[in-house]
Structure 1
Amino acid sequence: MTQVTVGENEGIESALRRFKRQVSKSGIFADLKRLRHHETPIEKYKRKLQQRRKARRR
């Protein structure tokens, strides 16, 4: 779970920006998008193929 504590002299906008950055890095939205709709076998294959390519580049 992603949590952001707002500092005493920190604005809510900067805390919100930090929260959005942490959520995007953790991949929460990607999981939600993936689980929202049924994934066909070919879509699953393409997604895993893309993940393998991305992992190989690192």
Structure 2
Amino acid sequence: MSGVRLREGESFESLLKRFRKVVAADGILQDVKKYQYYEKPSEKRKKELLAARRRMLRKMKRNEE
């Protein structure tokens, strides 16, 4: 669980800003979005294969240049 402590003389805005940075660094929001809806295993496989194909095409394009 991510957390931050209020520093002496620190404003609430800067505390909130630090907390958001910690949450973003931990990847908590990405996990929440990832598990927001159930994804069937077949859909997950299709998504992974599509991502792998995109990576491969990008890599091939970089090698050509």
**TM-score above 0.5, yes or no:** yes
Aligned partners of 1:46 and 1:21: how far apart in 2?
Answer: 31
Structure 1 counterpart of 2:22, one-letter code: Q
**Structure 2: gaps spanning 5 or more residues:** 57-65
After the TM superposition, which segments of 4 or more aligned residues of structure 1 sit over 6 Å from their partners? none
Long gaps (5+) in structure 1: 54-58
**Identity in percent:** 32
Question: TM-score scaled by structure 1?
Answer: 0.70
Q: Whose radius of gyration is greater, 1 or 2?
A: 2
How many correspondences in the alignment? 50
Q: Distance in 2 between matches of 1:32 and 1:46?
A: 22
CA RMSD of aligned residues (A): 2.3
